[in-house]
Amino acid sequence: MSEALLTVQDLRIHSGEHELVHGLDLTIDRGERVGLIGESGSGKSLTCLSLMGLLPDAVTATGTVDLAGEGDLLGRSEQAWSRLRGDRLAMVFQEPMTALNPLMRVGAQVAEIIDLHRGGGRAGAGRRDSSARAVELLAGVQLPDPARAAHAYPHELSGGQRQRVMLAMAMANTPDLLLADEPTTALDATVQGQVLDLMRAQVRDAGTSLLFITHDLGVVASICDRVLILRHGEVVETGEIDRVFSAPQHPYTKALLAASALRTDPTSGRLVTIIDTSDPSDPSGPADSVDRAPAPVARPAVRPTVPTPGPHEVIAADGSSLVFNRTAGVAPLLAVTEATRTYTRSGGPLGRSVRVEALKGVSFDVRPGQRFGIVGESGCGKSTLLRILTGLDAATSGSVTVEGREIVGQRDSRLRWLRSAVQIVFQDPMGSLDPRMRVLDIVSEPLRGVTRDERYERVVELLEQVGLPRSATDRFPHQFSGGQRQRIAIARALITRPRLLVADEAVSALDVSVRAQVLNLLDDLMVEHDLTMVFVSHDLHVVRHACDTVAVMNAGRIVECGPTQAVFDNPLHRYTAELLRAVPRLDAA
């Protein structure tokens, strides 16, 4: 078992004069499953691409990549590489929609891989063979009705099914090494679990080695034997997964584990964040670009008293209406009653139009000061709900009131008051900031009718509150990192001094270490600005930390709602229990 399959020595990856990976050593034995963990910018994806000979033109790799029976692979011709790819080396990418050819039936795509490495489809018989083999492979990845799936186009399959197809393609020629780059990151928790199980089974049955690249420690725990922790292009720790996770040696690993588990500091009650141990003269990040943030003001460590928790309720079996989290005595800040949203999707010139019910009657209250979480998987209607709450989309029927004022059925021009009362933070801090606008203009966008000086003062004040220096005002979004960009988005949301802050997957696109910081920041700002928050996420972990009340959504309805602790410890609805089970856990190793 200890025969080395792939030996990487002193792998260095350069882009121009920048060195992005600094001498990585890695050995993968036959049949071994190795995890490569790192946050964005750690060089994990570049490492993976270099092992497949797929680095972009401007990026070069040096060192040795030795594949058993092949010798050093680096510097080989494209032709030599393509002989290995798909045959001895195979790869599964993060986004199965873009990795599959949208105009080719999936069966044909699988068959193509088989043909390519069997001397090309010479005869008709060979073709038919590989088609049959493709169906077998699709059955192997547990696609329901594989013969029909083989005739489907990628867009006809769900995300999880597409990733299964990718896996079938990767495993088509039983490769010696499977490289998987964040293969389940784009998938929902329940689907992710199934795909991981399948991948583990496939790899084990074929005797294939696996290099699994991810930022998610929970996922790695469930699939790998050994891990490497990569940071700024350097391996900071490596070892058996049990050892690394239970007794991490390097401070970064410790902090990463704490941040991933959203562990709180017992003395302050705040989330543990990663301490920057990198050399300040780090060549990859010139310090002149953004000044260090001013020291944050001392803040009360105690959370304010949480409003009395609402009842823990489940949807009735007959689906009859029920107002979740109903307030008794206090006037709700936000009250949603029987909100529905139906889209009509036209089926083109010949097709019939299709009615899609995104929301099927949702009712709940949110009290002032509450942190209300909404969890659910993609397509459950949570984003639709959120757009209705913020007045960006209109409910088909039902009512939504904010501070007692109705917003459903109002024109944009009548909703001015709402725009300052309710603000939103989006998921992707890249997409939610106009790349051609300066931070000053971005943050002050919601401000109207104030003088230049006041505008500047308020922007600077808020930037300081979110931990960004004054000098950030005349920079553009691309000059900031992901976490900083999300801070800018938060500053923009708070500049009108809203009562209700709606966060749409606000930390989902961030690295774990940054995620903890942004959550801490939101926590502080909640107190400082006396905010009420609606926090939408697919990540149960985050909701558990950030919210005091949680509603679980499934198929356009809230199925369960109650105090976070009660819902997580004692789920009453079947779906909630299923969702909780599917979350990859660090202690599953």
State the Cα–Cα distance between residues 194 and 223, nearest whole angstrom. Answer: 12
Minimum CB separation of residue 434 from other proteins in Å reads 4
Strand, coil or helix: 191: helix
Quick one: 167 or 525, whose CB is closer to other proteins? 525
Nearer to other proteins, 260 or 517 (CB): 517
Q: Residue 561's CB: how many other CB atoms inside 10 A?
A: 30
> Smallest distance from the beta carbon of 146 to other proteins, in angstroms?
35
The 3-state secondary structure of 45-109, one letter per residue: HHHHHHHHCCCCCCEEEEEEEEECCCEECCCCCHHHHHHHECCCEEEECCCHHHHCCCCCCHHHH
Output 50 or 520, the one with its CB closest to other proteins: 520
Decide: 422 and 499 in contact? Cβ < 8 Å.
yes
Rounded least distance, CB 346 to other proteins, Å: 9
- Kindly tell me which of 131 and 284 has the beta carbon lying closer to other proteins: 284
Tell the residue number behind the tokens 């220096």, with chain if given: 469
CB 57 to other proteins: min, Å: 8
Q: How far apart are CA 194 and CA 584, in angstroms?
A: 11
Nearer to other proteins, 156 or 412 (CB): 412
* Shortest distance (Å) from residue 409 CB to other proteins: 16
String of DSSP letters for 479-527: GS-HHHHHHHHHHHHHTT--SEEEEESTTTTS-HHHHHHHHHHHHHHHH
Q: Looking at beta carbons only, is 152 or 536 nearer to other proteins?
A: 536
In angstroms, give the least distance from the CB of 296 to other proteins: 5
> Minimum CB separation from other proteins for residue 217, in Å?
17
232 vs 557 by CB, closer to other proteins = 232
DSSP per-residue codes, 327-365: -SSSPPSEEEEEEEEEEEE--TTTSPPEEEEEEEEEEEE
Query: In this structure, are residues 323 and 363 in contact, taking their beta carbons and an 8 Å threshold?
Result: yes
Tally the residues of the chain: 589
Of 144 and 280, which CB lies nearer to other proteins in the complex structure?
280
* Beta carbon of residue 213, minimum distance to other proteins (angstroms, whole number): 19
Count of helices and strands (H, E) across the chain? 20, 21
The rounded distance, in Å, linking the Cα atoms of 469 and 440 is: 12
By CB under 8 A, name the binding residues for other proteins. Answer: 15-16, 18, 41, 58-59, 273-276, 278, 282, 284-287, 289-290, 292-293, 296, 390-392, 412-413, 415-416, 418-420, 422-424, 426-428, 431-437, 441-442, 445-446, 448, 467-468, 478-484, 489, 492, 496, 511, 513-514, 517, 520-521
Give 299's Cβ-side CA count (13 Å radius): 22
Cβ at position 58, least distance to other proteins in Å: 5
For residues 518 and 440, is the Cβ–Cβ distance under 8 A?
A: no
Q: How many CA atoms lie within 13 A of 411 on its CB side?
A: 2
Nearer to other proteins, 124 or 280 (CB): 280
